């Protein structure tokens, strides 16, 4: 059975590239430029959530992850924060993200982080 990924990015090109690469790696991806899939998290039941820290609108990805990690229903879903921020490691730790992907990233690096956090 395919592992499910919820992918939220602020940049359409990056979203499409990550979506395509993860699909090619055998993941079932729900990709979005908004946090809409996060509202459906319990129905989607993903194996991992990847959220960019800069999302269109007023919500930061780190805040989304913090909320997921503080909810008993979703706290066990691995969450990965992506950003161009030089403070990404500490920002990821602060919101209790399981991992992070610094932008710009290599495709192999992204795949490794996703596989590591979905036990593949």
- Domain 4-117 is found in CATH 3.90.1150.10: no
Strand-by-strand arrangement of the 99-102 sheet: 28-32, 4-8, 48-52, 79-83, 99-102
**Res 120: pLDDT:** 74
**Res 64: pLDDT:** 97
> How much is the CA Rg of the chain, to the nearest whole Å?
13
pLDDT along the chain (120 residues), means of 10: 96 97 98 95 97 89 98 97 97 98 96 94
- Residue extents of the structural domains in the chain: 4-117
């Amino acid at each position: 059975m395919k592992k499910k990924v919820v992918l939220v990015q602020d940049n359409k090109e990056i979203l499409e590239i990550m979506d395509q690469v993860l699909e090619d790696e055998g993941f079932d991806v729900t990709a979005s430029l908004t946090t809409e899939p996060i509202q459906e998290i319990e129905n989607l039941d993903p194996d991992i959530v990847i959220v960019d820290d800069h999302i269109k609108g007023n919500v930061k990805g780190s805040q989304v992850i913090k909320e997921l990690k503080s909810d008993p229903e979703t706290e066990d879903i691995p969450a990965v924060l992506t950003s161009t921020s030089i403070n990404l490691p500490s920002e990821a730790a602060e919101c209790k993200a399981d991992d992070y992907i610094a932008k710009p990233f290599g495709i192999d690096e992204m795949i490794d982080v996703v596989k590591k956090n979905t036990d593949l």
